[in-house]
Every structure is written in C-alpha cells, then in structure tokens.
Amino acid sequence: MSSNGIMDKVAVIGMGCTKFGEHWDKSVDDLLVDAAYQAFDDAGIEPTDIDAAWLGTMVSGYAGITLSGPLKTKYIPVTRVENMCATGSEAFRNACYAVASGAYDIVLAIGVEKLKDSGFSGLNSPKPPSDGTTPNISAPASFAFLAPAYFNKYGLSSDQGREVLSKIAWKNHYNGSLNSKAQYRSEVSMERITNSPMVASPLGIMDCSGVADGAAAAIIVRTEDAHKYRKDPMYVKALSIAAGPGDGILLQDFDFTSIKETVMASKEAYRQAGIKDPRKEISMAEVHDCFTPTELVIYEDLGFSKRGEGWKDVLEGTFELKGELPINPDGGLKSFGHPIGASGLRMLYEMYLQFQNKAGDRQIKNPKLGLTHNLGGTPMQCVSFVAIVGKELS
Amino acid sequence: MKGIISYGAYIPYYRLQRKKIGEFLGSSVLGGEKAVAGYDEDSVSMGIEAARDCLKGIETDDLDAIFFATTSSPYKEKASAPIIGTALALKENIKSLEVSSSIRSGTSSIMLANPDEKTLIISSDCRTGGTGGQNEQVFGDGAACLLIGSGKNVIASIVEQTSFQKDVLTQWRGSDEDVTQNWEERLGQTVFQKQIEDDVIPFIKQHDIDVSALKKVIISGPGARTHSLCAKALSLEKQQIQDPLIDQVGAAGSAHASMMLISALQDAKPGDRIMVISFAEGLDLILFEVTEAIENLPERKGIRDHLNNKSNDISYSDYLKWRNLLKTEPARRPEKDRPSAPAVYRGHSQNIGLIGSKCRECGTPQFPKQRICVRCQAKDQMDDYRFVNQPAKITTYTLDYLSASPASPVLAAIIDFEGGGRILSEVTDCDPAKVEIGMEVEMTFRRLYTASGISNYFWKARPKWKKEVL
C-alpha cells in the first residue's frame, strides 16, 4: 500500500470564481460559463486550448455534457465527478493527476452547484432507493453531535462551549465582510450569533453555513509549462482524500471529538509535502466549516491545535486573520455558503489570490504554504480531502 | 385447564388532558385524560410493546399461534403478523390470525384459542373520533397481550365462556371512513341491558355462578352509563366493578376488555374469580379463576406501571397533528419517498428484529449487518446478533429543528449498546430537557413513517424505564 505524491509536478495557472449567493437570475450554465471564462482569461488561454475537463457537481447535473453543453467544448473528454461535499476538491484532484500522468497538457477543473433552485431548507440530495430505516436527520444535526461530545470530554460548560462556537462564526463572518465574492458580507456580533434561532441544538442558524449558488474553476498544467503562462502560478504540493469505512457509526471507539477521515487525509498530505509541524509550516488554511463545531474539531484533526486545546486557540485568536495561523481568510463556508461542487475550488481560489498578493483587505503577509480541507458526509462516515499548495517550488 | 399463562400491556406515554380539548372547543368536556399514541405508534407497534411485556421470561420457541385483534390495522390488505413475529424474535413456523372490525375481537380470540396450543393474543387499538365529538374524548389508545394455553403455568383458568351474536347499530366506522360514528347512546344502553337480562343472567343461573363472590367484573361496552346499568342488573357491589380506565386511558377498542382484565389480574390473588363481559353487537362472557401460579409470575409493567409512566405535556394541536387531523404548512424539505420493497424484504430480520452481526474472529457486534468486519476485516465471518434487549446509553445527541417531523424538534442521538455496537436513533417519549450524555435508554418498536400507504417500522430509543421514579 503506497501512494506517490505529485509534489511540484503540476501548477495552477488560472482561476475563476463567481460571487456566491442567491443567483435567482443565473442558471447552472451561466455560472459554469462565468467561472470557466474568468479562469481562461486569468490564464491567458483560449477555451479551445483545454485538452480535458473535470466537472464537480453533486445535484446540479449529470455527466460531462453538463459542462460541454454550455461551454461548447469540441468533443474533448469531460468527466463529471461527485464526492459529496468534497466534490469540487475531487474534480481538482483528478484533473491534477491527469496532467501529472502526462496524458494531457492543459486541463480545466470546475465545480458548480445551484442549490437555491430547489426551494428547500438546508441541503437535500437525491437518495438511492432504500429500506428507509436510516433516521432522517438534517446535516446540521449530524455535525451538532460533535458539540456536546467535545464539551463533555474536555470539561467545557455549555456557556464556554457556546462562546467558542460563536467566536468561530464571528471570525469567519469578519473575514467574509472583507470579500466581495462572499454571500454574506457583514460582520455579525457575538451576541447575534449566540442568540440565533436554534437549528440543531446547540447549533443556531448562525452556526451553519448558508445555502448558495456558485461556481469556481482552475486551469492546471505541468510545472515545467507553467511559466509559459504566468510568473506566479500556484504549485500543488500534496493531494489526499480519505474515504471512511464507517468506524464512526459502527464502533464505539469513535467519540465524536475527532473525524478520523480528516486525521488520515492530513497525515497523508503532510507526508507527501514533507511537512513535520503543520502549525508552524502552513501559512494559512481554508477548511470545511460547514458548521462551527466542525471547524473546532478540524483544528485538532489537522494538527493545528493539540488534542483538547482547539477551543483555547479559538479564544486566543490563533486562527483569526491577524493571528498566528489564519483559517478561512476568505470567510469560509460560513460567509460563502456551500454550493457543494464549487466549494473545494473556491477554497483553492483564496490560496491562489493570497499567493499572488491579490487578497486586498484580507491579505496575509507573505504566505508560503496553504492548506485546503473539504469534507463530504457526516462525522460518522465521510470523505475528507486535504490539499497543500505553495507559492514557490520546494 | 385452558387459561392465561402470562399477560402484558402497553399504554402510550402521552396523555391528553381532556380539558385541553374543551379549551379549544369552548365547550364542556369529560374530565380526566386519554392516552394518545405517539405520531410514531400504531396498533402494530403498541401491540408489539404489550407482547414484549407479556413475554418477559417466557420461552417462545413452543408458541403455536399469534392472534392480532384490532379495528385499526395499518393495512386493509396485508398481514402484520410476520412483522409482529420478527419483532418478538418468534420462530417463523407459527400460525397466525388477524381479527378485525369487532371491538369484541380481543375477547373472542381468547375463547377461540386452541386449548392444546400456546397462543399469543395481541389486542391493540388506536381509533380516531371525529374532531370535536364525544368519541374523540372517550377513545384512548392502548394494547394488551395475553398468552393463552393449558397446564400448570396457567395463572387464571377459564371456568366458563360463552358468546352471543346480536346485531345493533350503536357504533360503526365504514371501510372508507376515518372516524367512528354512533347512534344515540340510549339505544346501546337499552340493548345492552336487555342482553344482560336475556342472556347473561340465565347463563349465570344455568352455570351456578355466585355473582356476589366474584372479585371483579369487567364490563366493556358502549356509553358511560353501561357500568351502572350492568352493575344494577347483576346486583354488583361497587368494589366488584373493575375500573374501566376511562379517566386515565379512554376506551381502547378491541384492547379495552383485555386491558381491564390485566388490571384486575395485577391485583388478583389465587382463588379470585373474575368475569369479563365484552359487549359489541352481541357479547362475549368469560369467567376466570386465578390459580396459585400467579404468585410465581415475574414482575412486569402491565397496566399499573404504564398508568404512572406518562407525560401530560401534549397539546390538543399536537394530538391533531399526530393523527393527521390538522393541515399544517409542510416543512420546506422533500417529501418522504416510499421505502423500496426489495430493500425492505432483504432487511426484514435486520430492521424488524434489530439484528446486526457479530464477528466470529474479533467478537465485535455491529449494526447494520456487515459482511466485512469493521474492526478486523474478516470476510463473511458474522453471526446474527440481536440488540433489542441490550442495555444502552446516549453518547451524544442533538435536537434537530430542521428535519421534517410531526413532532419537531426531533431528538436524535448516538446510542451505544453494552457489549458493543451503536446506532444513530431518534429518542422518543423523552423530555429533551432531561437528556444528557450517558443517559440510559432502551429500544422500543415504532412506526417511522407511512408513505404510499406503506407503514415503515423500525426501532427507536426511549429513556430507560426506571421503576424508582414512578
């Protein structure tokens, strides 16, 4: 059993990202065209330069024709991928490997989701026929399980726990207020977060990421070709995704204070990129803050915080924009909402902007290495993705 | 001699205070409370719970038959006995009979059980009275289970039994109607009184039954005055008349007479004689004599404990919603799909029996059934493992306000079983304010939902029954 990383073998030479939010006046096709052409323009290439494409979408279309139709690509391969909420990252990962293999020279990875057209609250996905006995609990409820378990294990009172969760939401909204592409662009007070209407106890509505439409795209080439297109490409250091066997829902060992898939995916990514001390070596991260306790647990699962001490780091401001290790500098899922197929690529888009010193008021000083983390499923069983990207070749 | 070997009962946790109906209607109502099946209960699920109470400590391999008596079957066409059998872990090679329509079907089943066989008789009802009407106040939900057979384990033997068929339109529910209708109450009372005179009193005389020596007389019949009229006609003393449970439960249809009988048996001593008169378009009469064996019957919930284990915290609008009598705004969530019949077929023993697998290599229990062990990866080395009676506790929980449910918010929890294995389950019949990590729970059989006319059953957790808090 081995996995061979592709450190520094491929690079991103162009990216695009639509504004995320309620696009009542735009279709899936419109969002795909907007994100793809932003990426083409940014890379300085023609749409016909693309050799192959990977489209990530969970519920907004089937097959490669969802992309080839609106873009009018000329019979090139287009692969539609789906890996739940990690769909966008999965499109990127597969596109990178295709380029690294030498099969293609220049490819497009694009993700899209149009959630607001369903009219339903929260996220809903088509389910295969089943015996119907699995409890029909909402996504926030699945992740809410983390909160009481974490508070109980580490001795936080419900008020202390509440403050920690609110602080995470507050930080992400603050960052999002500085981002013109975010769905929500206002700062939100701690008080408003703390007192927001209950969705799945102890999570209020302000602990949850929003429901949004959006698309994001990346153009990927081999590293040796990157400088033909731009002087400041983003290099791919590591890509990993861990699919869980279901330990969390089958075994009592799993105690809801950690998501094992994230631990395994990050270990593998650190191995590929040669990272020993992630808290020191990583300059910034975009993580899957679908709900506030998810982000809390991620700090520890990624090795940014010691076990049981993520909450202290939150209170100390470690992960704020001006803190030691800024997390979700673009505002995260919390400010962007979570158009499933697009989110993973949106995270990479922020890394790309930061490396190119284009993040405006959110700019982090001279970031070298960035991490993106994307999670699909529930804490009990999920796919967890980690990418490490860099400004420079190692 | 044929008789009752064991008994068990079930009364749903929620009790609607009748005054709440009065407050809504702005009219005078009966006092007391009625037992209300949860939105996740029906005659089948309640019947299974009563049978679990009845079968405590009973070896079930030698059961010969299941009778299921109800006027509120989840299906007009489709059997419930196979679900009942699997939920109770009975063998598949067993006879069954499902008796419907008559309120007397519970007592008739007792009489018709073969004396040479062991028959589990479940009577259970969840009837709906029209909103604002008398039946809505009087009807209550509940279930009773009696194990009938012969031999030294009989705790109450049948001394005499008889039945009379006499048609009268006192109370009826057409096959395409949802609610029960009545003729004016005087008709039923008069006819019942006449039957006492024409049929019951001659039978008593003919069989030399000393009415004054009866410990309890169970009278299940229409209308509030039935009891006093019958008592008068039979010259009964007040203490001989078994409490009809109207104030605490309500009239529970085909389960009513048996629930009263169980209530009487819980207070009975060897030698006590108990007579049951169950009236509906004729009558059933059974005379029991309690035996010494009752002293050895293991402790159970029966009617008495169920009466005390309850919550009054239910509003009239909750009741209306649970019975689909109140049109509410649908949640902004997709409609529930019907379950897939092949998937239901494949998962029958797992889901209805709550049977998972236990790895022969490493001993890890897991639910649902797995082929590859989650701990040691052994392939196809699994034995069936039943979780139903395993002690369990809550590992973490949430109150889910977003998922669509007739009883929002849904209390969802991770349940860990003693000895290993866990499930994600709804916790039902529980005050959310009392939930905490480590809380002990037990599994209870429930109807998850109905879709396309299909009732989909599974198990849920509920707070562990604690005798000391009663």
- Bridge-based pairing of strands B410-417 and B392-400 is antiparallel
Beta-carbon pairs below 8 A across chains A and B: 135
- Angle subtended by helix axes B226-233 and B185-195, to nearest 10: 20
Instruction: Of A369-378, A381-390, B378-387, B397-406, give the lowest mean pLDDT range.
Output: B397-406
* pLDDT confidence tier of residue B263, bands split at 50, 70 and 90: very high
Query: Which among A173, A288, A338, A373 is annotated as catalytic?
Result: A338
Residue of B331, B370, B399 with shortest CB distance to A201: B399
Report the half-sphere exposure of A198 (CA within 13 A, side-chain side): 14
ipTM for this model: 0.93
Domain-embedded: residue B333: no
Q: Tell me the sheet residues that pair with B286.
A: B161, B276
Q: d(Cα B267, Cα B247) in Å, to the nearest integer?
A: 19
- pLDDT 10s digits, A325-346: 999 999 999 999 999 999 999 9
Give the gap in angstroms from C-alpha A120 to the nearest C-alpha of chain B: 5
Active site residue A85: yes
* Domain covering A10-119+212-233 assigned CATH 3.30.565.10 in the classification: no
Are B31 and B167 in the same domain?
yes
Q: Which CA distances in Å does A367 have to A270, A362, B122, B175?
A: 17, 12, 72, 74
Structure token digits, residue B152: 């030294």
Q: Tell me the sheet residues that pair with B457.
A: B447
Domain residues for the domain of B422 are: 341-469
Strand order in the sheet with A52-56: A78-81, A52-56, A106-114, A213-222, A10-17, A234-243, A382-390, A369-377, A284-286
Are B73 and B162 in the same domain?
yes
- Angle subtended by helix axes A292-301 and A146-154, to nearest 10: 50
Residue listed under structure tokens 């719970």: B49
Last residue of a domain, one of B292, B322, B352: B322
Q: Which residues of A touch B414 (CB under 8 A)?
A: 145, 256, 380
Q: Give how far the C-alpha of residue A99 lies from the chain's centroid of Cα atoms, to the nearest Å.
A: 22
With CB atoms and an 8 Å threshold, state whether A131 touches B456: yes
Query: Read out DSSP for A341-364?
Result: HHHHHHHHHHHHHHHTT--GGG--
Active site residue A338: yes
Amino acid, res. A6: I
Q: d(Cα B170, Cα B188) in Å, to the nearest integer?
A: 5
Are B146 and B267 in the same domain?
yes
* pLDDT confidence tier of residue B406, bands split at 50, 70 and 90: confident
With CB atoms and an 8 Å threshold, state whether B424 touches A137: yes
Residue of B339, B396, B400 with shortest CB distance to A130: B339
Give the gap in angstroms from C-alpha B20 to the nearest C-alpha of chain A: 28
With CB atoms and an 8 Å threshold, state whether B395 touches A252: yes
Are B230 and B349 in the same domain?
no
Tens digit of pLDDT per residue, chain A (394 long)?
A: 468 899 999 999 999 999 999 999 999 999 999 999 999 999 999 999 999 999 999 999 999 999 999 999 999 999 999 999 999 999 999 999 999 999 999 999 999 999 999 888 777 777 899 999 998 899 999 999 999 999 999 999 999 999 999 999 999 999 999 999 999 999 999 999 999 999 999 999 999 999 999 999 999 999 999 999 999 999 999 999 999 999 999 999 999 999 999 999 999 999 999 999 999 999 999 999 999 999 999 999 999 999 999 999 999 999 999 999 999 999 999 999 999 999 999 999 999 999 999 999 999 999 999 999 999 999 999 999 999 999 999 8
Q: Is the dihedral of CA B287, B290, B293, B298 positive or negative?
A: positive
With CB atoms and an 8 Å threshold, state whether A249 touches B424: yes
Domain ranges of chain A: 10-119+212-233, 139-209+236-390
Beta-carbon contacts of B61 under 8 Å, excluding residues fewer than 6 positions away, are B91
CATH number at residue B179: 3.40.47.10
Are B76 and B162 in the same domain?
yes
Q: Which residues of B touch A121 (CB under 8 A)?
A: 331-333, 402
Give the gap in angstroms from C-alpha A60 to the nearest C-alpha of chain B: 16
Instruction: For residue A328, give the nearest of A307, A355, A346, A311 by alpha carbon.
Output: A346
Q: B400, B405, B430, B437: best mutation site toward chain A, by most A Cβ within 10 Å?
A: B400
* pLDDT confidence tier of residue B188, bands split at 50, 70 and 90: confident
Q: d(Cα A92, Cα A107) in Å, to the nearest integer?
A: 10
Q: d(Cα B155, Cα A247) in Å, to the nearest integer?
A: 49
Q: Which residues of B touch A202 (CB under 8 A)?
A: 398
Residue B470 has pLDDT above 60, yes or no: no
* Model pLDDT, residue B465: 85
With CB atoms and an 8 Å threshold, state whether A130 touches B456: no
Q: Which residues of A touch B346 (CB under 8 A)?
A: 131
Give the gap in angstroms from C-alpha A289 to the nearest C-alpha of chain B: 18
Q: d(Cα B5, Cα A234) in Å, to the nearest integer?
A: 79
Q: d(Cα B367, Cα B356) in Å, to the nearest integer?
A: 4
Whether the predicted model's global pTM rises above the 0.90 cut: yes
* Model pLDDT, residue B189: 87
Domain-embedded: residue B17: yes
Q: Which residues of B touch A293 (CB under 8 A)?
A: none
* Model pLDDT, residue A343: 98
Domain-embedded: residue B330: no
Give the gap in angstroms from C-alpha A377 to the nearest C-alpha of chain B: 15
Residue of A131, A247, A256 with shortest CB distance to B344: A131
Residue of B339, B343, B424 with shortest CB distance to A135: B424
Structure token digits, residue B26: 């702005």
Are B260 and B394 in the same domain?
no
With CB atoms and an 8 Å threshold, state whether A120 touches B334: yes
Domain-embedded: residue B450: yes
Domain-embedded: residue B296: yes
* pLDDT confidence tier of residue B469, bands split at 50, 70 and 90: very low
With CB atoms and an 8 Å threshold, state whether B333 touches A121: yes
With CB atoms and an 8 Å threshold, state whether A136 touches B370: no
Domain-embedded: residue B204: yes
Residue listed under structure tokens 């993106």: A372
Q: d(Cα A175, Cα A185) in Å, to the nearest integer?
A: 9
Query: Which among A85, A96, A208, A382 is annotated as catalytic?
Result: A85
Amino acid, res. A336: F
Are B290 and B161 in the same domain?
yes
- Bridge-based pairing of strands B14-17 and B33-36 is antiparallel
Query: Read out DSSP for A134-168?
Result: S----HHHHHHTHHHHHHHHHT--HHHHHHHHHHH
Structure token digits, residue A3: 């996995």
- pLDDT 10s digits, B282-291: 999 999 999 9
Residue of B331, B366, B448 with shortest CB distance to A133: B448
Domain-embedded: residue B357: yes
Amino acid, res. A53: A
* Tally of domains within chain B: 2
As assigned by CATH, the class of the A139-209+236-390 domain is alpha beta
* Model pLDDT, residue A2: 66
Give the gap in angstroms from C-alpha A294 to the nearest C-alpha of chain B: 15
- pLDDT 10s digits, B301-324: 999 999 999 999 999 999 999 999
* pLDDT confidence tier of residue B468, bands split at 50, 70 and 90: very low
Buried b (16+ CB within 10 A) or exposed e, B217-255: bbbbbbbeebbebbbebbebeeebbbebbbebbbbbbbb
- Establish whether domains A10-119+212-233 and A139-209+236-390 are of one fold: yes
Domain-embedded: residue B336: no
**Angle CA B308–B311–B312, to nearest 5:** 110
Q: Which CA distances in Å does A299 have to A288, A314, B159?
A: 11, 9, 74
**Minimal-distance CA residue of chain B relative to A128:** B340
Last residue of a domain, one of B268, B292, B322: B322
Q: For A86, list phi and psi in degrees, rounded to 5.
A: -95, 15
Q: Give how far the C-alpha of residue B362 lies from the chain's centroid of Cα atoms, to the nearest Å.
A: 39
Query: Read out DSSP for B137-202?
Result: HHB--EEEEEEEE-STT-SEEEEEEEEEE----SEE--TT-SSBEE--HHHHHHHHHHHIIIIIHH
Are B255 and B371 in the same domain?
no
Query: What is the pLDDT of chain B when averaged over all its residues?
Result: 94
Q: Which residues of B touch A155 (CB under 8 A)?
A: none
Q: d(Cα A174, Cα B163) in Å, to the nearest integer?
A: 79
Are B131 and B27 in the same domain?
yes
Residue B198 has pLDDT above 60, yes or no: yes
Buried b (16+ CB within 10 A) or exposed e, A244-262: bbbbbbbbbebbbbbbbbb
Asked whether the beta carbons of B74 and B44 are under 8 A apart, the reply is yes
Strand order in the sheet with B355-359: B365-366, B355-359, B382-386
